Amino acid sequence: MRSATGLGICLIATLAVAVGAPTVHAQDVEWRSYGSDAAGTKYSPLDQINAETIGDLEIVWRQSVLPDAARLGSDLTPPVASQNTPLMADGRLYISTALGTVAALDATTGEVLWFDTPPDRDGVPFQRVRQTRAVAYWDDPQSDDA
């Protein structure tokens, strides 16, 4: 009787894990927050890169933390320290630029899609911080904007 109860509990636990196990969908492989997800797992379920394919990797594009498009027309100088954890969402990479602003890049080409230039406040130009670290991504489910 005792082993049947133990077997039943193991079976229920196994089913609970199997039913509750996440499946990999396209949206799950994005990197929408620091550490990959809200839990900070720093894990990606992608398996395209492994021991057999690692030798085939090559650089497709590079982009500075101060993209030329964001630098144009700016008299701001880069900060003393700039750390960057790019986020990936909807085929775009979002980065904190070396000017303390934000830029969106096409994930396939590295092309700058847009960058943020903070407005003056009451005639006072944007005062950037001396260090930049990262950006945050928030999606409004009720908005049609991307």
Tens of pLDDT along the chain (146 residues)?
A: 455 444 444 434 433 433 344 444 444 478 888 888 888 888 888 888 899 999 999 999 988 777 666 665 556 666 656 777 889 998 899 988 877 778 899 999 999 999 887 777 777 766 666 667 778 888 788 877 65
Question: CA 2, CA 6: separation in Å to the nearest integer?
Answer: 6
Residue 70: per-residue pLDDT? 64
Residue 145: per-residue pLDDT? 64
Residue 76: per-residue pLDDT? 62
Residue 92: per-residue pLDDT? 92
**Residue 101's closest CA among 125, 126, 124?**
126
Residue 75: per-residue pLDDT? 62
Residue 36: per-residue pLDDT? 84
Residue 97: per-residue pLDDT? 81
CB 72 within 8 A of CB 64: no
Q: Among the residues of 2-104, which ranges form H helices?
A: 2-20, 68-71
**Residue 144's closest CA among 90, 96, 105?**
90
CB 101 within 8 A of CB 116: yes
